[in-house]
Structure 1
Amino acid sequence: MLNFETFLYKNIGAKIKKYRDSLDMTQDQFAAKLNSDYYISLDRYRLSSIENGRANKKKNPYLLTAELIKVFSNCMKCETKELIFGNYIEREENVRLFLLAIIMNSEKDEEEEYIIPFMDFLFRNKNRTITLKENEERYISASGIMKGLNKVEEKYPFFTSGKIYKKYQNLLGVPSLRIELISNLLIKLLMGDFEFANYYILRMSSLCKINGSNEIVYSFIENKGMIGGALIENKHNFYVFANAFEKMWKRHKGLFMEYFEGYLFNKRIKPELKYKEINNKLFYDIIIDPEFSRLIFSVIEKDRFSIKTMDGHYLFYQHLLNRYVDKEIENSIEHPY
């Protein structure tokens, strides 16, 4: 289950800390100013917990009270929506993270470590001592020679951002069966990139040989199981994934933003739904809502008949057809009568 509450609270806390830093005030000074200007009781210990996004079940189970939301919105001169979810650019960044986190579904590797699809994580060895900056002249991209960290950052700013990488980690929880459908649909949406579709086929063929079974493919066809981690095989192939994800986002971010603006950022912030009700359950209800899966199905169909993406989808669907035939043959052998 993705940890939306931690993600939300950490973002709110970071926003408040950034504002305090802009005033060049210590926590004691800022707390004193708020107490004086708004007649509230807030000490630096409580402020520190808020800035670090630490909710206390006894003292502040939802990080902020209704009163503190008004106080911080007023002093920071922003709407409640912006305090909680950020400005439009921040919300756009968050939706991209949501989609990426759904694809990965908090999957872990054999060493029980989260598989994190960010380059700062992937450009480390098993001892986690070699960072991306120490590897800047050692790798190339799938689409051609790409030497140097600067070029990598220029092409993939989202996947090389330390700030975004940290925010993604706040979302991690435990794998959930409830989002497998959406996870697999989003991966199928990436098939609009021909290079990714071709890579997917090669990668799945390799895994089927290793496993001695086609089950991983059959499960994916039925939108079951998790393959996000399997697609991040190594640094070289990660570029293929990142490139397909970036292209998909560029094509359809308007539709995804419209969905989350309506179901989370706008529609849900109203008097009958209190701030404290913006929690993990609400987030899950939004991403497993049939309306969301219908949206992705419709986008996949649109891509299948678009000149820019039809080749990748054609290649992928030919692969599905072949695998379907394989399954029928296997079933007829196992159950001849």
Structure 2
Amino acid sequence: MINFQYYLYKSIGNRVRFYRKNILGQAQADFIEMLKGEGLFMDRQRLSLIENGRSIEGKNPYLLSETQIDLFQKIFKTSRTKLLFGEYEERMRLIKLILLSLLMNGVSNTKTNQQWHPFFVDPIEDESEFIRTSMLNLTNQSLKEEATTVFIGHNRAKTKKIVARISDYLHEEYPFFFNKTNRRDYQLLASEYEQEFEKSSNLFLKLLFGNLDYSMDFFDSLLNLSQQLDEYKQAPTQLLLNRGQYGDLAIGWLEIRFPLFIKAFNEVWERHGKRFCDFFQSQLFDCRTEHFSSNNVMKDLTSDYVHSLLTSEEFISLLEELLTIDEYTEETMIGHNYARNLMQTTINENLKDDRIYSKDIYDEDKYFYDVRQLNYLVKQSNKLNAKQSRHALFACNYVEIKKVNE
């Protein structure tokens, strides 16, 4: 379950402390006196609990009472939504973190037995792993070569310098995914595995396939795994049915495919971010639906409620609608066509590459092979040597293919 309640209480506590110290410029004692003047009696221990995001049964079981929310709104001159969820940018950030947690769905690293996180490795936590993954996933060739030299040569003298340079580069190129605050808050939210999340998790994953490069790379890895490891043998079929966990594969184990994942995720957000924002605004941030009590909204702002949102028919329908739109949109349909082609080919036992030479007719085997080759051509279309690339097509053996005048 996504630990929404834990995250929410911590963020509200930080916000109350920020308002008190930075907006009002008051110490706790002065703030308590102000509250007293407004008719709200609170001791320092209770205020500290709130500011630390801690709820204790019998004292503040839901962190804030309705009376406290109303008074804090008045004193801080802010709205209920901003007090509970932050400014617009912070609410958008929360939606992204929830979507990422949903996508990962608690998948664990089999080597460390810890959950995978869709963020660059923190160099402070593991400097060596930071350099190793940078050696694999950097798109800046110069930095990539330097990281490789330092990692292979174990050159401690140059380590600090290259770590600083890589950090600056990642911060500029991938500000959301190389961000200590985002990484920390994701860890507060991160979900344990939930079978009920599988459908929405995999529907969101499929939205990423609108990026052709990502789609091709993802399925190349998935098919290789399905042929080599028993636990992945049924993965294409399971993915088609929106079953299973693919978060580690989705982020490329933070290695070569990770920048592709970031690009695909950002493109999904650019296309559909407003739709996700509208959904969470109406179902969560407004606190006005039939799910919320008028007596104490905090009582209903729980992890269970967010769980129900992410597994609701409304959210599933939204994901399915966005996926359908992408499948028929010019910019994204080729990536989805490739994904569909690969799943059709591998799921149907009669459409395997080891049979494509066994028939004399232009059958489904050869058709699917040709489609894949044409997708590779599209991928290469922006490269300088695209016209020099060679793609063998079975169709050439059955029909006369003529050049079209440009």
TM-score normalised per structure 2: 0.74
Give deviations 1:144-203, integer Å, cap 9, x for gaps: 647433332222111112111111111124211111100000000000011110111121
Quote the residue 2:245 is aligned against.
226
Aligned pair 1:166/2:189, yes or no?
no
Does 1 or 2 have the higher relative contact order (CA < 8 Å, sep 6+)?
1
In structure 2, the gaps of 5 or more residues are 144-165, 353-406
Q: How has the CA–CA distance of structure 1 residues 189 and 273 changed in structure 2, closer, same or farther, with 3 Å as cutoff?
A: farther
Quote the residue 2:43 is aligned against.
43
Quote the residue 1:62 is aligned against.
62
1:251 to 263, 271, 278: 271
Q: Secondary structure at the match of 1:292?
A: helix
8 Å CA contact 1:55, 1:61 repeated in 2: yes
Distance, in Å, in 2 between the alignment partners of 1:237 and 1:54 is 39
Distance, in Å, in 2 between the alignment partners of 1:138 and 1:93 is 25
8 Å CA contact 1:120, 1:162 repeated in 2: no
Q: How has the CA–CA distance of structure 1 residues 319 and 18 changed in structure 2, closer, same or farther, with 3 Å as cutoff?
A: same
After the TM superposition, which residues 1-337 of structure 1 pair with which residues of structure 2 at under 5 Å, given as runs?
A: 1-22=1-22, 23-35=24-36, 37-110=37-110, 111-121=112-122, 128-130=125-127, 135=131, 138-139=134-135, 141=137, 145=141, 147=143, 148-212=166-230, 213-232=232-251, 233-266=253-286, 267-268=288-289, 271=294, 274-326=297-349
Cα deviation for residue 257 of structure 1 reads 0.7
Residue type matched to 2:328 in 1? F
8 Å CA contact 1:304, 1:314 repeated in 2: yes
In structure 1, the gaps of 5 or more residues are 330-337
Cα deviation for residue 236 of structure 1 reads 2.5
Distance, in Å, in 1 between the alignment partners of 2:277 and 2:81 is 15
Distance, in Å, in 2 between the alignment partners of 1:285 and 1:217 is 27
Residue range with higher mean Cα deviation, 235-244 or 267-276: 267-276
Residue range with higher mean Cα deviation, 157-166 or 227-236: 227-236
8 Å CA contact 2:19, 2:76 repeated in 1: yes
Identity value in percent: 27
Residue type matched to 1:169 in 2? Q
Count of residues in correspondence between the two structures: 323
8 Å CA contact 2:13, 2:50 repeated in 1: yes
Residue range with higher mean Cα deviation, 270-279 or 136-145: 136-145
Residue range with higher mean Cα deviation, 84-93 or 316-325: 84-93
Distance, in Å, in 2 between the alignment partners of 1:279 and 1:105 is 18
The Cα RMSD (Å) is: 2.5
Give deviations 1:228-258, integer Å, cap 9, x for gaps: 1233323332111111111111111011111
TM-score normalised per structure 1: 0.88
Q: How has the CA–CA distance of structure 1 residues 19 and 103 changed in structure 2, closer, same or farther, with 3 Å as cutoff?
A: same
Q: Secondary structure at the match of 1:207?
A: helix
Give deviations 1:256-302, integer Å, cap 9, x for gaps: 11111111112436737733112122212211111111111111111
Distance, in Å, in 1 between the alignment partners of 2:134 and 2:113 is 27
Q: Secondary structure at the match of 1:159?
A: coil
8 Å CA contact 1:17, 1:51 repeated in 2: yes
Give deviations 1:183-226, integer Å, cap 9, x for gaps: 00000000001111011112112322331352222211110111
8 Å CA contact 1:221, 1:320 repeated in 2: yes
Give deviations 1:292-331, integer Å, cap 9, x for gaps: 11111111111112121112111101011112213899xx
Distance, in Å, in 1 between the alignment partners of 2:351 and 2:311 is 31
Q: How has the CA–CA distance of structure 1 residues 275 and 158 changed in structure 2, closer, same or farther, with 3 Å as cutoff?
A: same
Give deviations 1:57-107, integer Å, cap 9, x for gaps: 221110001111112111111111211122222111111111111101122
Quote the residue 1:332 is aligned against.
none
Quote the residue 1:334 is aligned against.
none
* Larger radius of gyration between Structure 1 and Structure 2: 2
Q: How has the CA–CA distance of structure 1 residues 327 and 228 changed in structure 2, closer, same or farther, with 3 Å as cutoff?
A: farther
Q: Secondary structure at the match of 1:19?
A: helix
8 Å CA contact 2:345, 2:351 repeated in 1: no
Q: How has the CA–CA distance of structure 1 residues 191 and 260 changed in structure 2, closer, same or farther, with 3 Å as cutoff?
A: same
Distance, in Å, in 1 between the alignment partners of 2:62 and 2:109 is 32
Distance, in Å, in 2 between the alignment partners of 1:77 and 1:262 is 23
